[in-house]
Amino acid sequence: MALISKHHVWYPYADLNQWDNSTNPVITRGRGFHLIDSKGRQYLDGVASMWCNVWGHGEKEIIRAMKNQINNLQHSSLFSLANKPSIQLSLELIRLSKGMEYVFYSDNGSTAIEVAMKMAIQYYKNRDRPEKRHFVSLQHGYHGDTIGAMSVGYIPRYFSVYRPLLTRVARLPSPSLKLSEPVSNLEEILEETESCLKKISVKTCAIVMESGAQIAGGVRIYPPGYQKKVAELSKKYGVLLILDEIATGFGRLGSMIEYLNQGSIPDIVCFGKSLTAGYTPLAVTLTNPEIYRSFLDKKAKLYHGHTFCGHPIGCATAIANLKLYRKKNLLRDISLKSGYIRKRLCEFQNSAAVSNVRHKGMLAGLDISRRGVDAIRKGTGGPVDSFIFRIALNSGVYLRPLGNTIVVIPPLAIDTKNLEYLLSVIGVIIEKVERLL
Ligand SMILES: Cc1ncc(COP(=O)(O)O)c(C=O)c1O
């Protein structure tokens, strides 16, 4: 019988028929950059536990801050009350995020996006433009699994079944930068973006897009200048810009705040994942004084609030985490490791098993070639992602591919030895596919 029925846990994004009691590990501990299962086997975390882990496990300064907070105040809501960690963290976030002045707290990235969408619609209502209530987003964009987030981040293979729940959103093409090729259709994409905004800006409140790169939609890195241009177009046509830095902010692409790196100040920005190094759930939606002022002017309330908004333990964790970024100069360390990752990826891009490689900072995506995909299916009778997952697991690495794309998203502070091992296992996977060709 499958583990699912034994545990009574319904696992996210799981093929219930593929779940295997004997081989899907039960994780009981974390040590450094490894997850350790109930049988004592250890797995290097190649996807930073769904893209959020920063320091690995057992980071003492963060644990100390969490313990201190637990000893003082375990929970207090933000409904008619404030708490110190949420105030302190908002000051820190505002200091980092140029153009932003106010922080709205939630507990996961999807709801941070819902908050952003509600702010944008209500902003135009506050400014007596209620007809501006539609959204524009990008093809291949992903923003989470709640209803609004699925509407703007519509990935058909995940969400087509939920379509009756979703609102209609105009979708623009998005560019993708390969390792050693310039983007040839950037001009076309920008022209289409402009002509769409020109046509529908009267009814559009905001454009929603990931900042710097799209990850869940297939690891698509924006070429230089693209996001800046979209920001300029959003200003030109009077449409708010909502940037999603939930997966790409705080170092993943090599910058602390990716929109600053891209020269594109948004009206609203969302952060999550690495914000707490993965130690507690927390997400934030930041906005500028103009949007906040529209609520003041109209005496309007934002009807959004969660039980765990501004959770003191989450906020104390994030404060300690951000302090460590500075203390350990994490961004410098990332820039060195990013160079190493790129060098290793160049070795893989000529393999017949690989059709396309993308990389930025601590993020990489490698597509298995058409021939490779056919060979895996023929040779194993199973899906490509399970094939990759199993080889990695047998080599002591936790990897979760996106369909036919191997995604490399290690904990940001991973040490060189473990990073080398992770990339060597990617090499092993590629060799195994080559042997099937
Ligand atoms: C870009 C982006 N936005 C939003 C989300 C949703 O975040 P969460 O899973 O915390 O709801 C994710 C999650 O992977 C993401 O990658």
Instruction: Read off the pLDDT of residues 81-138 as tens digits, 9 standing for 90 and up.
Output: 999 999 999 999 999 999 999 999 999 999 999 999 999 999 999 999 999 999 999 9
Domain extents in the chain: 3-58+329-436, 62-327
Second CATH level (architecture) for the domain 62-327: 3-Layer(aba) Sandwich (3.40)
Residue-level length of the chain: 437
Q: Whose CA is nearest to atom 16 of ligand 1?
A: 247
Neighbours of 299 (CB within 10 A): 7
CB of 216 within 6 A of ligand 1: the answer is yes
C-alpha–C-alpha distance, residues 370 and 146, integer Å: 33
Q: How far is the CA of 346 from the centre of ligand 1 (A)?
A: 29
Pocket probe for ligand 1: among 53, 105, 117, 142, the residue whose CB has the most ligand atoms within 8 Å is: 142
Task: Name the DSSP class of 401.
Answer: -
Q: Whose CA is nearest to atom 5 of ligand 1?
A: 144
- pLDDT of 427 over the 50 cut: yes
Q: Provide, rounded to the nearest whole percent, the portion of the chain with pLDDT above 70.
A: 98
CA distances from 397 to 58, 105, 357, 414 (A): 19, 34, 20, 13
Question: 107 in ligand 1 pocket by Cβ < 6 Å?
Answer: no
State the pLDDT at residue 16: 84
Query: Does residue 210's CB lie within 6 angstroms of at least one atom of ligand 1?
Result: yes
> In angstroms, how far is CA 405 from the centroid of its own chain?
16
Identify the residue whose C-alpha is closest to ligand 1 atom 4: 143
pLDDT, mean of residues 155-160: 95
Q: Which two tokens stand for residue 281?
A: 């759930």
Q: What is the pLDDT of residue 6?
A: 67
Helix, strand, coil share of the chain (percent; to 5): 45, 15, 40
How far is Cα 263 from Cα 278, in angstroms, rounded to an integer?
Answer: 28
**349: pLDDT strictly greater than 60:** yes
C-beta of 108 in contact with ligand 1 (< 6 A): yes
Q: Tell me, what amino acid is at 258?
A: E
Tell me, using a 6 A CB cutoff, whether residue 110 lines ligand 1: yes
Structure tokens at 23: 């081989």
Residue 219 CA to ligand 1 centre (angstroms): 14
What was the pLDDT predicted at 282? 98
Neighbours of 205 (CB within 10 A): 26
The answer to whether the Cα torsion of 187, 193, 199, 202 is positive or negative is negative
Pocket of ligand 1 contains residue 143 by CB under 6 Å: yes
Q: Evaluate: CB of 272 within 6 angstroms of ligand 1.
A: yes
- Residue 221 CB neighbours (<10 A): 24
Atom number in ligand 1 closest to CA 110 = 11
Alpha-helix runs per DSSP H in 73-181: 84-96, 109-126, 147-152, 156-159
Q: Is the pLDDT of residue 3 over 50?
A: no
- Tell whether the model's pLDDT for residue 24 goes beyond 90: no
Distance of CA 210 from the midpoint of ligand 1 (Å): 10
The CB of 244 under 6 Å from ligand 1? The reply is yes
* Residue 5 pLDDT exceeds 60: no
62-327 and 3-58+329-436 share a CATH fold: no
Q: How remote is the CA of residue 145 from the centroid of ligand 1, in Å?
A: 8
Averaged pLDDT, 393-413: 97
Which atom from ligand 1 is nearest to the alpha carbon of 51?
14
Closest ligand 1 atom, residue 214 Cα? 1
Taking residue 121's Cβ as centre, other Cβ atoms within 10 Å add up to 19
Question: How does pLDDT run across 57-78, given as a tens digit for each residue?
Answer: 999 999 999 999 999 999 999 9
**What is the CATH T-level fold of the domain 3-58+329-436, as seen in this structure?**
Aspartate Aminotransferase, domain 1 (3.90.1150)
Q: How far is the CA of 363 from the centre of ligand 1 (A)?
A: 15
209 within 8 A of 217, measured Cβ to Cβ:
no
| Nearest-10 Cα torsion for 56, 272, 248, 351 | 50
**Which bin fits 60, alpha (ψ -120 to 50), beta or left (φ > 0)?**
alpha
Quick one: pLDDT at residue 23? 74
Residue 272 CA: which ligand 1 atom is closest? Answer: 10
Q: Is 32 near ligand 1, meaning CB less than 6 Å away? A: no
Query: In which element (H, E) is residue 206 found?
Result: strand 204-210
- Distance (Å) from CA 173 to ligand 1 centroid: 20
**Residue 158, number of CB atoms within 10 A of its CB:** 15
The rounded Å distance from CA 364 to ligand 1 centre is 17
Residue nearest (by alpha carbon) to ligand 1 atom 3: 143
Q: For residues 294-312, give the mean pLDDT.
A: 97
Q: Which residues pair with 43 in a beta bridge?
A: 35
Over 90: is that where the pLDDT of 200 sits? yes
Is residue 1's pLDDT more than 70?
Answer: no
CA of 247 to the centre of ligand 1 (A): 6
- Are the C-beta atoms of 279 and 285 separated by less than 8 Å? no
- How far does the centroid of ligand 1 lie from the alpha carbon of residue 436, in Å? 35
Q: Which of 12-21, 150-159, 302-311 has the lowest mean pLDDT?
A: 12-21
Q: In the predicted model, what is the mean pLDDT of the chain?
A: 96
For the beta carbon of residue 6, count every other beta carbon within 10 angstroms: 9
CA distance 418 to 42: 13
Give per-residue pLDDT as tens, 237-290: 999 999 999 999 999 999 999 999 999 999 999 999 999 999 999 999 999 999
Q: Which residue has the higher pLDDT, 345 or 5?
A: 345
Task: Write the DSSP symbol of residue 24.
Answer: S
